[in-house]
Amino acid sequence: MNLVTLCSGGLDSVTLAHLLHSQGHMQELLFIDYGQRHITEYHYAYKCAADLGLHISDVEIRGQIFSSALTDFDVAVPSGEYTPETLSTLVVPNRNAIFANLAAALAVSRGYDGIALAVHGGDHEVYPDCRPSFIASLRRFLEVSTGISLEVSTPFVHRSKAQIVEIGLGLNVPFEHTWSCYKGGDKHCGVCPTCRERIAAFEGYEDPTEYER
């Protein structure tokens, strides 16, 4: 199949691109810049494209439409584990829906078969737009909005982040070419919620990530 794979340069979406590649699917990566606090992610998405020899497109969304610690410099990135409180500052409302619809537009423009998203099981509780019910609804919605039965590939929707690491290790994914930290910088901070989640996912495996702390 020909797919548009949303790639943020993170562990999940880079592993997804490697998995689909290993299965023989053709892909165009799509990176979406929605005003993240740092552009580190961008470089890692491009590294993924280079590693796999794939074309990567990017879309920029600008405007004060999103409000969260991921985009606003006046909202502090929380440290420590995810809690209901820290999570509420990290939710960008309807983000995956917007990204999936942009990917679908690109897929239709190019005449591809569908899109691929790295939503995974660990995000279900927090983000409505990562749940299996969202994917099912998205599939039906895109069929109506584009008039085409687009494939929506989400092989990780029932996997934990630790399982994604396991899959990635089996595929020799260069995890040092992936980025998770919300804070940017030269190294992963090691203390923000997504760094802690990354560290936990590598438990029992060799983690090639350099952490500040």
Could you list the residues that contact a second copy (CB under 8 A)? 30, 57-67, 92-98, 101-102, 104-106, 108-109, 128-129, 131, 133-134, 137-138, 140-142, 144-147
Both tokens of residue 185? Answer: 């910088």
What is the rounded CA–CA span in Å between residue 11 and residue 198?
Answer: 8
Q: Pick the closer one to a second copy by CB: 90 or 201.
A: 90
Shortest distance, position 190 Cβ to a second copy, whole Å: 30
* The pair of three-digit structure tokens given for residue 103, joined into one six-digit string: 């990917």
Sheet holding 114-116, edge to edge: 26-33, 2-6, 114-116, 151-153
Shortest CB 124 distance to a second copy, Å: 12
* Neighbouring residues of 75: CB distance < 8 A, sequence distance ≥ 6: 67, 68, 69, 89
Residue closer to a second copy by CB (options 68, 79) is 68
4 or 167: CB nearest a second copy: 4
What is the nearest approach in angstroms of a second copy to the Cβ of residue 133? 6
Q: Is 95 left (phi over 0), alpha (psi -120 to 50) or beta?
A: alpha
Q: How far is the CB of 162 from a second copy (least distance, A)?
A: 26
Measured in residues, the chain has a length of 213
Give, for 13, the enclosing helix (H) or strand (E).
helix 11-22
User: What is the widest separation between alpha-carbon atoms in the chain?
Assistant: 50
- Residue 128, Cα to own-chain centre: how many angstroms? 15
Least spacing, CB of residue 71 vs a second copy, in Å: 10
Give 83 or 145: the residue with its C-beta nearer to a second copy.
145
Beta carbon nearer to a second copy, 112 or 156? 112
